[in-house]
Amino acid sequence: MTLFVFIPAGYVVFLSLLRWNLIDVHAQFVGLGNYVHLFASQSFQQALSNTLILGVGQIVILLPLGLFLALLLDMGLRGTRIYRTVMFGPYVLPLVASGLVWTLLYNQNFGLINQVLSWVHINGPNWLGTSGFALLAVLIMTVWQYLGYYMLIFLGGLQNVSVSLKEAAAIDGANDRQTFWHVTLPALSPSLFFALVICTIQAFQIFDQVYVMTGGGPDGSTSTLVYYIYNEGFQMYNIGTAAAASMVLLILLALLTWLQVRLGRRWVVEE
């Protein structure tokens, strides 16, 4: 932990106080100047905004949809193992490979998505080349990639719900909807909390799909915090700015996780 976490993290804090291009022997100490420049930068503000949009989009779509699919699989339908394997399949694929496939699917001229839209007389947009659609395209691909993972989290939680509680609710005259809201969902709250925290962290770490599919474009409309850090550090060689952005990312994730833990104590039901 000291060698691979604490020392590198401390070095990043030190770099965030310097102006250095990774090539010059001497670096200039600027104190908090990198942070002031960061929050005045429109590109950083756009990257932060895009990251927040993707984070909210993932939480709003992934968690309810993953829970819905888990409920279907928990009903004991025929072929459950096949459905579970198919849904979880995208998660084990490399993000770079998935990004390349989706780039072809989104192609304006020969992509399958626009071909299907043309069958119903809809002129498909330039998904990855238009600011209004590029971020949505990244979100759709990300939901497809991670949906099976959250489905399995909720499925594991559903299978641990006490059968005796459901039977007691049925004896008391509760219907399926009442049983879900008052028995199943409270018992599932630890899984929901875990999924919420992990989904938030994953949203703030989005990089591979953006790098492969859009390169942060067009006009920065799909740039995320991690992509911004990569671009500043290893494309523009603004090491101090990249390090400062890394510290901002760390602080944001720490605050969000702390807030989720504090609020989670109010609604997570311990077994």
Question: How far, in Å, are 111, 212, 260 from residue 215 at the CA level?
Answer: 19, 6, 31
User: Domain 43-267 has what CATH class?
Assistant: mainly alpha
Counting other chains too, the contacts that 230-237 makes at CB distance below 8 Å and 24 or more residues apart are 233/22, 237/21, 237/22, 237/23
CA terminus-to-terminus distance, the chain: 32
Task: Round to whole Å and give the CA distance between 15 and 27.
Answer: 9
- pLDDT string in tens for the chain (271-residue length): 999 989 999 999 999 999 988 888 788 899 899 999 998 999 999 999 999 999 999 999 999 999 999 998 888 778 788 888 899 999 999 999 999 999 999 998 889 999 999 999 888 889 999 888 999 999 999 999 999 999 999 998 888 887 888 878 888 787 878 888 888 888 889 999 999 999 999 999 999 999 999 999 888 999 999 999 999 999 999 999 999 999 999 999 999 999 999 998 888 877 5
Residue type (1 letter), 84: R
Question: How far, in Å, are 145, 162, 177 from residue 167 at the CA level?
Answer: 36, 9, 14
Residue type (1 letter), 245: A
Domain boundaries, the chain: 43-267
In a 3-state reduction of DSSP, which class is residue 266? helix
Q: If 0-12 CB within 10 Å is exposed, 13-18 middle and 19+ buried, where does residue 159 land?
A: exposed
Q: If 0-12 CB within 10 Å is exposed, 13-18 middle and 19+ buried, where does residue 154 land?
A: buried
